[in-house]
Chain A
Amino acid sequence: MSSLVRLLKNRFTLQLTRSLLDLAPIVGVIVAFQVGVIHQPIPEVFALLLGLLQVVLGLTLFVLGLEQGLFPIGESMAYAFARKGSVLWLLLFAFGLGFGTTVAEPALIAVANQAADVARQGNVIADSLEAQENYALGLRLTVALSVGFAIVVGVLRILRGWPLHYLMIGGYIGVMIMTPFAPAEIIGIAYDSGGVTTSTITVPLVTALGVGLATAIKGRNPLLDGFGLIAFASLTPMVFVMAFGMLVR
């Protein structure tokens, strides 16, 4: 038992250091600009430091929890489905994986809340807390649907051996066709949602599915065919979120 506690402690301190290193470049650049260029007082330094501490601690617990709970079981499941052979179950699982990991992605939660806040202040939506929360949730569910869809198409691509760049160019064309029809206030958020979506939870699990599939199918190279699921999953949110903007309006 005591050795287990020590193990957790070691993993905890290791991950804590990693989270600090994640934050270090941001803090470094800001301090350099404050000291070297701006020379203005920073208001509420204490609250700021407390917040940074929460961010580091939260990120540490989040990644530790993922590595202990979700990743081992999710990865072994992704491999199991990839080898099982039933295409229908594989596609259903692929959709659920893309959808579920995206809903839980913290960066997307944060950005969706910001977007809803801005939309409320800019009178795009009704001026109530409920409308704001609904908008943020709607945005996230839209992105999650689009990622689920992208993973399904990406899995089909690996099964059929379609070249990746056909999908990507198709996605680009989709984005450009949607843009003139979408309301102006959604375009920035839509374009950003692609990069925000694929982050801490989604990337490892989706990559495990892709590499597992490419290893299980004869004639596929895991290094060449296993990638690309993420890439397509950062294009479809743009198209779907623009459609969401048209529906909300």
Chain B
Amino acid sequence: MIDWFIHFSGTLGAACRDILPIAAIIFGSQVLIIRRPIPNLRRVLAGFFYVVLGIALFLEGLETSLFPLGELMAKQLTSSTFIQASARTTEMDWQAYGWVYAFAAAIGFATTLAEPSLLAVALKAEEISGGAIGAWGLRLAVSLGVAFGIALGTYRIVTGTELYLYILAGYVVVVIQTAFAPKMIVGLAYDSGGVTTSTVTVPLVTALGLGLASTVPGRDPVLDGFGLIAFASLFPIISVMGYAQAAAWLSRRRSLS
């Protein structure tokens, strides 16, 4: 218990340091440039205190929950006993890791569909497009995009292929789509890439990738462990523009007939 307190106070101190720059910028510009006292100063200070406490608790909790969970799932789904029990082939090729891809896709789909900031973006897209793009359809498209992206990312870790080739291919698709997609959706689509990976999803997915890279034979966490988040933020851009293009095409066809 005492150990925990010493450790936690260390994390708390670090959190104070982390919050310092933004606090200095906000208070500094309020006092020096806007030259007005801060309204509800006590409430604001209490808010900053909650933020520091929250960051420290969150980071402490990660160490014993989402990080070990992600690694545990990676270890169990790639352990030789599990693979031999589930796969018919005894060969250790990429097909033996089917459940890994399924798990990655399920995590990507479920967390994205439940993501509140994506809901906000989807409602905004419905508003901009005047109803041509449905909020539900868009959320489904993004969720499928993230699911496919993370699954492909785990396939890349398993096979140890070069990350930049996948990302380069993704960029080429995005650039081509940008030329043809409805102009109003482009900014939203680009932003949706950053929105889909929330504060709780990122640690779990990172731990999953590192766990995979350390258990799959021939892989190295230093070289292969990262990159899943990159997939999760690239594919929604493609799926949002794709969905908007499909919706525009459908409404054109309907108005023609």
Q: Are A228 and B190 in contact (CB under 8 A)?
A: yes
Q: A191-B163, A199-B202 are in contact. List 9 more A-B contacts (CB 8 A).
A: A51-B60, A58-B59, A100-B21, A104-B18, A165-B178, A176-B164, A192-B227, A223-B124, A234-B233
A159 at interface, CB cutoff 8 A: no
Interface string of B112-156 (1 = CB under 8 A from A): 011011000000100110000000000000000000000000000
Contact between A73 and B30, CB atoms less than 8 A apart: yes
Among residues 1 to 60 in chain A, which have CB atoms less than 8 Å away from a CB atom of chain B?
18, 21-26, 28-30, 32-33, 37-38, 40, 42-44, 47-60
Query: 7 smallest A-B Cβ distances: which pairs?
Result: A69-B47, A54-B61, A65-B50, A188-B226, A62-B54, A51-B65, A58-B57
A interface secondary structure, majority: helix
Majority-rule SS of B interface residues: helix
- A233 near B: Cβ within 8 Å? yes
Task: For residue A125, give the distance in angstroms from its CB to the closest CB of chain B.
Answer: 11
> Which of A49, A114, A228 has the most chain B CB within a 10 Å cutoff?
A114
Known A68-B47, A233-B194; judge A48-B210 contact (CB<8 A). no
Closest-CB distance, B171 to chain A (whole angstroms):
5
B94 at the A interface (CB under 8 A): no
The CA-CA distance from A18 to B115 in the complex, in Å, is 10
Q: How far is the CA of A69 from the CA of B51 in the complex (A)?
A: 9
Q: How far is the CA of A233 from the CA of B66 in the complex (A)?
A: 26
| Distance from B22 Cβ to chain A, minimum over Cβ atoms (Å) | 3
A-B contact pairs, 26 of them (CB 8 A): A22-B199, A23-B200, A29-B103, A38-B77, A50-B61, A51-B65, A55-B65, A57-B54, A61-B51, A65-B50, A65-B52, A68-B46, A69-B44, A80-B34, A110-B67, A114-B203, A118-B210, A118-B221, A168-B178, A172-B175, A175-B171, A188-B223, A195-B229, A198-B194, A231-B187, A231-B191
Residues of A91-123 contacting chain B, CB below 8 A: 93, 96-97, 99-101, 103-104, 106-107, 109-111, 114-115, 118-119, 121-122
CA distance A176 to B175 in the complex (A): 14
Q: Cβ of B43 and Cβ of A69 under 8 Å apart?
A: yes
**Contact check: which of B29, B60, B175 meets A77 at CB < 8 Å?**
B29
Report the minimum CB–CB distance from A77 to chain B (whole Å).
6
Q: Is B33 interfacial (CB-CB < 8 Å)?
A: yes
Pair B111/A26 contact, Cβ less than 8 Å? yes
Q: How far is the CA of A192 from the CA of B234 in the complex (A)?
A: 10
Contact A230 B163 (CB under 8 A): no
Known: A29-B103, A58-B56. A22 touches B22 (CB 8 A): no
- The answer to whether A59 touches B226 (Cβ under 8 A) is no
Which residue in B23, B163, B232 is a CB contact (below 8 Å) of A188?
B163
Whether A26 contacts B110 in the complex (CB less than 8 A), given A70-B51, A176-B168, comes out as: yes
Specify which of B50, B174, B190, B203 is in contact with A68 (CB 8 Å cutoff). B50
Among B50, B106, B220, B224, point to the contact of A61 (Cβ < 8 A).
B50
A69 and B46 form a contact (CB under 8 A): yes
How big is chain B's contact interface, by range? 35 or more
Task: Check A73–B58 contact: CB distance below 8 A.
Answer: no
Question: In the complex, which range does the number of interface residues on chain A fall in?
Answer: 35 or more
Write out the residue numbers on chain B whose beta carbons fall within 8 Å of the beta carbon of A67. Answer: 47
CB of B44 within 8 A of CB of A115, answer no
Query: How would residues 201 to 243 of chain A score, 1 for a CB under 8 Å from any chain B CB and 0 otherwise?
Result: 1010000000000000000000111011011011000000000
Cross-chain contact of B57 among A23, A43, A57, A201 (Cβ < 8 A): A57
Q: Decide: A77 near B190, CB < 8 A? Known: A189-B226, A199-B202.
A: no
Q: Does B24 belong to the interface (CB within 8 Å)?
A: yes
Task: Give CA–CA (A26, B220) in the complex, Å.
Answer: 26
Instruction: Check A192–B111 contact: CB distance below 8 A.
Output: no
B60 contacts A164, C-beta separation under 8 Å: no
Interface positions, chain A 106-145, Cβ under 8 Å from B, are 106-107, 109-111, 114-115, 118-119, 121-122, 124, 144
